Structure 1
Amino acid sequence: MITKRIQKLIAKYLVNQASFSELDELEQWLKDSDNEKEFARFVKTNYLIEYNLKKFNKDITKLKLYDLIEQEKKVLRLKRIQKYSRYVAAAVVVGILATGYFFKDNIFSTPIEQTPTIVNTKAIVPGTDKATLTLGDGSIVVLKKGNTYQGQNANSNGEEIIYEASKQKPTEIVYNYLTVPRGGEYYIVLSDGTRVWLNSESQLKYPESFIEGETREVELVYGEAYFDVSPSTEHKGSNFKVFNRSQEVEVLGTEFNIKAYKDEVNIYTTLVEGRVVVDNGISKQNLIPNQQSNLDLEKNSIKVTVVDVEGEISWKNGVFSFKGKSLKNIMRVISRWYDVDVIFLDKNLEELKFKGVLSKNQSIEEILSIMKSSTISDYKIKDKTIILK
């Protein structure tokens, strides 16, 4: 069985985030033939990449895998990877044999060579680290690469913002808002040490400082966020709560993801570690790791299911993991990250399913070409609008 440590190593390797020592550790683990099979099984189950899995035990495939690991080490040694390359996705793995993905029929597909129409006067680029910070007095600070910010108890290098615990005990709560636009993402450390990753088109409301002994409360106004909460044992028992539309999530030192976009009628809370209680005012649901609650806003009801956690939170690690998602839902994700509009000329396309792992750093043309090999027949790009046929 693959340990949680090895799972994380594989995930980091697939998205090109593994350090030199982690690559060494993974390589040593793979020298066991049983582990090779576990590796293949894990990748197939969690990443759905065409990996010549049936032939994985053959020497040529193993050698190619080890060669790729060695290549990554050389890149790390030479420091050729630019800072944004932490978002390079599973193309490294795909390159072992060829470019391809498992689609709904699990058949390896080769893209059909056709030239789509592109009338692109406005560049479409992948998202990046950017946000706006609204302070307690209403003033606004633009946070992006190249801009630094120094506040009374917060500082930002342009790519993240970190709050320090106030040296003086606050007597009242002053709220800040961190707003991430379409085509953006941002990382924040709250004053209690809680870490939050915000996805595109999201807004978080939070105190500059928490009042000692009182419940720590933040609000995900809209959008998607991954929380790694500082445990109550480090804050004199103070609980942590996340509020958003129609629900409250009570937390006890844990990691979880909340997806609550304005244009969707469902709120998804996915538990990674620890324990949370989801309350919609009518009923309460206790979640354990690998469970997800689905709050239907129209029916005001909560349904709990077991989900693939890694797929649900892959956005945080620079990857789109689409496992049988409909094109309609996939294009919502794509439109937020690339800041584009999407039009379906054929409404029947909206419900078609697609499976694949894609890099958030890939160009929009690469993303669409991969989909074209299995799901859509053609596409057109006009300015910042994608038209699917």
Structure 2
Amino acid sequence: MLTAKVRRDWYRIIPFGIIWLLTAAISLLIEWIAYGGTFPSSDTMISPDTDILIFALLSMLGLGLFVGYVELNHLNKLFIRQSFFRKSVYKFLIYFVFIHLVVLVTYPIAASMETDTTVLDPHVWSRLWQYLNSLIHLSTALQLGVAITLSIVYAQVSEVIGHTTLLNYLTGTYHHPREEHRIFLFVDMRSSTTIAESLGHECYFDLLRTYYADLAEAVIRHRGEIYLYVGDEMIISWKLSDGLQDNTCLRCYFAMQHDLRERAHWYREHYGVAPDFKAGLHYGSVTTGEIGVVKKHIMFSGDVLNATARMQSLCNTVGVDLLVSAPLIALLPPNEAFHPQSIGCKELRGKTEELELYTVTQCTPVPQL
């Protein structure tokens, strides 16, 4: 079975393939309509029969998937500190040059298919040279430019608001509010004020960015959704069934803790301090829907968020790193790797009823996903 990270990567890459496939299909359809239900013919234009059309569309799909892979795994990391405009220009130039190199390979193949010869035939390469100096080449370059631009825009928007959130907007999943049962994990950096004062705002911001990036890997591996970053606090959510399955929400917490402690030496070398965090874990009903006028946001609204925030703030008071609500403990499947221990019923600030809370320790190492 595919891991959660591999599935997530595929879900993010596939839209790139769809963008390139649709761009190619629309371009061919416009050309076909413009010429009265046929394709233009010239010395440089390859007359597309069924096989060539399928080859062309599959090639564009493959190119789109490849662009998506390169975008998410290489270029996005390479230009992470660049502004939106510079990042977009650099990416466009790299993709545009690369795609033209691909054209130099695919055109001779398509030409050989049309003439039923091999790619080594001199006539094939003569046609390639004529094509590179024709208006048809200019039209193809324009089509590629549109596909590249759409891919970059999709990648940038997805990066800013999140892939899942973007798909929810596009599909209208939460256009009409709906009730959901969700698990929430509130993660808060310990001694953040002291760290910020000792490092200064600029250096602390750099630490915070690295800290969030390190924690995000475990969230991705455990199918969590990062709902919000609030200062030094991170809010993670699962649909109830996803978070309960195989104790995923608990596993995520301990994986985040493990990953951060593995990097403790690096943090001390670069910042002189190794960040740590405390967390609250709870579940409940929320109303989920789009909200906002000037800026849209998919919002969770429910008492569970306030309760989880209060639980997380109690960690310092009771001297533990993690607090889990009794209702969630009751739903989690038994697992010998985790040992829950009740710390009694506690009154949460702003609540009239007390809530029994547990702290959970990891008895045996859980394999990292």
TM-score, normalising length: structure 1? 0.24
Greater share of strand residues, 1 or 2? 1
- Relative to its length, the structure with more helix (as a share) is 2
Higher Rg of the two aligned structures: 2
Q: TM-score, normalised by structure 2?
A: 0.25
